[in-house]
């Protein structure tokens, strides 16, 4: 204790004008209990600063090659605030938990035709940060039998890169499965890509900030070796910090800056009304980062005709907490998606009714099913990641900004004013409005994206929604990027008379008016979620629709019809 007192005195003498902050969600219940924290330094720390940190009793747990300002420590909980006061420490946050969040799909978004024309993602590497990949699956092999899972590494500490949960293989199949087990029926968006398997979720679908950051760090390291141009994160957690402080957001921005298109799930909290906002303000981190492509989920309604497709009511909606970015960026099919099954995995065992009958794809009735259906923005995200791979095969010179802008520009903007989904189990109905906070810039259209020649020249940063003095709302880009009426959103789509946004929509306890329907959208109640138990409740308390369970590790939301 004497050493700690002397350190505290030294910090006091130096002054704490340069001291950092502790994130508001960090709570001390037992000051002697060891906790794992992510420490952000103002500059890469030298021996002197690290010595001060470890003098508190902290031990270094993890360092990163491409994030020299980040380090992970284990320390008694009662000393975390002391570490934050060390000059040079910028921000301290807990090592937060993260969780996981096709025949009709490819035809609906137009990738099947693109594949026939030679666009398969050949030569493009896609990093999949998930629960592992079944790299021996025939759908993920070349015609010569070599696995297209070209690299695997575990970040959970279990020294196992196989998919014990069953989520990552499903995601990988949506991105790049070739349909070998189904005679080509269930193939992914980009069946020629190479996959980089970075396992960050365990057999229960649980992971941590540190594991995801370490995997992103390694993806950047391996970028040149495997031509990693796309990164898929079908996972997330609640938002606690603004994007300039959130370690997950800072990590995905580093991948973006390295030239990697980062595609992230919006989250499955669109039905959550615990804040009285009808599911608005429920985007997860790191999907709140303005430089990534954040994806919501659509329902194909069992047809290849896009005209009857509707938003999935569970798809999380913007604006983002704290920063008020307009999210998601676009939507893609994510409901009742058939992809790779991992026999005996956690999700397979928990959901036997979701296995696809082998006779559907021409296999003997008594043969084990090779496929399983899942639902959620976790499934919509790899659809967009696959589309990004197709664009990059077509034009390898495209930047992440150009890929994002092209996909948003060419996204279909034909939607109804609203739709209603009724939960078959509870009988509860959910009304969805097709505003920019629900469907972003529109519905992914791969053919339109490949046929377009538009190339943006600026930073494709998602806009911020602001309240104007005249009572209207505007979308403004911090970097003056041209998200105007002719580019991604238009007057008939986001801000017209059908969506008469009133004077305090996101900034006070006022209302949003959609026709004759009025729904509350109070920023005070949205912000109240930050740093409280309400954040974890948003994730776990979905028993009425989350596959019949309140488990926070269940990834399957109930499919809507």
Task: Give bridge partners of residue 421 from the DSSP assignment.
Answer: 430
- Measured between alpha carbons, how far is 86 from 349 in angstroms, rounded to an integer? 49
| Ramachandran class of 205: left when φ > 0, alpha when ψ lies in -120 to 50, beta otherwise | left
C-alpha closest to that of 432 among 282, 548, 284, 323: 282
Let me know: does 337 contact 299? Beta carbons within 8 Å: no
- Active-site option among 130, 154, 246, 288: 130
Catalytic residue from among 378, 456, 522, 523: 378
Per the annotation, the verdict on 414 as an active-site residue is no
Length of the chain: 561
Residues near 77 by beta carbon (within 8 Å), at least 6 away in sequence: 28, 29, 30, 31, 32, 33, 34, 35
CA distance 374 to 274: 25
Residue-wise burial string across 331-352, b where 16 or more C-beta atoms lie within 10 A, e elsewhere? bbbbbbbbbbbbeebbbbebbe
Strands (E), 387-535: 418-422, 429-433, 464-467, 473-476, 500-501, 511-514, 517-520
Nearest to 327 by CA among 318, 335, 339, 336: 318
Annotated catalytic residue 144: no
Catalytic residue among 66, 167, 170, 324: 167
d(CA 102, CA 455): 30
DSSP, collapsed to helix, strand or coil, labels residue 264 as strand
- The structure tokens listed for 495 are 């801000």
Render the burial of 412-446: b for 16+ CB within 10 Å, e for the rest: bbebeebbebebeeeeeebebbbbbbbbbbbbbbb
**Coil, helix or strand at residue 355:** strand
Catalytic residue flag (residue 323): no
Q: Which residues are catalytic, by number? A: 130, 167, 378
């Amino acid at each position: 204790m004497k050493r700690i007192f002397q350190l505290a005195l030294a910090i006091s003498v130096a002054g704490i004008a340069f001291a950092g902050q502790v994130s508001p969600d960090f709570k001390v219940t037992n000051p002697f209990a060891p906790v794992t924290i992510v420490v952000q330094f103002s500059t890469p720390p030298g021996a002197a600063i690290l010595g001060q940190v470890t003098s508190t009793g902290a031990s270094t747990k993890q360092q990163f090659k491409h994030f020299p300002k980040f380090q992970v420590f284990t320390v008694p909980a009662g000393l975390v605030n002391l570490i934050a006061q060390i000059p040079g420490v910028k921000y301290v946050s807990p090592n937060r938990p993260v969780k996981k969040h096709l025949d009709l799909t490819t035809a609906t978004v137009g990738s099947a035709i693109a594949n026939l024309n030679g666009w398969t993602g050949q030569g493009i590497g896609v990093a999949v940060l998930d629960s592992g990949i079944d790299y021996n699956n025939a759908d993920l092999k070349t015609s010569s039998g070599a696995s297209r899972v070209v690299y695997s590494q575990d970040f959970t500490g279990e020294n196992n890169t196989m998919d014990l949960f069953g989520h990552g293989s499903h995601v990988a199949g949506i991105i790049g499965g070739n349909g070998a087990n189904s005679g080509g029926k269930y193939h992914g968006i980009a069946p020629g890509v190479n996959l980089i398997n970075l396992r960050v979720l365990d057999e229960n679908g649980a992971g941590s900030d540190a594991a995801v950051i370490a995997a992103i760090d390694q993806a950047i390291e391996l970028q040149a070796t495997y031509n990693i141009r796309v990164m898929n994160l079908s996972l997330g957690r609640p938002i606690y910090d603004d994007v300039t402080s959130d370690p997950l957001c800072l990590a995905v921005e580093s991948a973006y800056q390295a030239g990697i298109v980062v595609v992230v799930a919006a989250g499955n909290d669109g039905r959550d009304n615990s804040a009285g906002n009808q599911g608005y303000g429920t985007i997860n981190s790191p999907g709140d980062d303005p430089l990534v492509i954040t994806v919501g989920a659509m329902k194909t309604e069992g047809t290849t005709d896009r005209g009857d497709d509707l938003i999935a009511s569970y798809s999380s909606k913007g604006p983002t907490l704290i920063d008020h970015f307009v999210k998601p960026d676009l939507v893609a099919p994510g409901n009742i998606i058939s992809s790779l099954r991992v026999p005996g995995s956690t999700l397979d065992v928990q959901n036997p009714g979701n296995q696809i009958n082998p006779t559907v794809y021409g296999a003997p009735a008594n043969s084990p099913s090779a496929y399983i259906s899942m639902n959620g923005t976790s499934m919509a995200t790899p659809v967009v990641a696959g589309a990004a791979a197709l664009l990059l095969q077509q034009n390898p010179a495209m930047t992440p900004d150009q890929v994002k802008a092209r996909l948003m520009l060419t996204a279909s903007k034909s939607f109804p004013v609203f739709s209603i989904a009724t939960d078959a189990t509870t009988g509860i109905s959910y009304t969805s409005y097709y505003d920019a906070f629900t469907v972003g810039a529109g519905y992914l259209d791969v053919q339109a994206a490949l046929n377009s020649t538009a190339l943006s020249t600026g930073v494709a940063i998602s806009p911020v929604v602001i309240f104007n003095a005249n009572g209207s709302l505007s979308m403004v880009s911090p970097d003056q990027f041209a998200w105007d009426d002719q580019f991604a959103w238009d007057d008939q789509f986001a801000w017209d008379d059908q969506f008469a946004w009133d004077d305090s929509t996101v900034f006070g306890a006022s209302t949003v008016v959609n026709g004759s329907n009025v729904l509350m959208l109070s920023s005070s109640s949205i912000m109240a979620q930050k740093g409280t138990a309400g954040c974890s409740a948003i994730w776990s308390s979905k028993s009425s629709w989350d596959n019949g369970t309140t488990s926070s590790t269940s990834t399957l939301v109930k499919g809507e019809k």
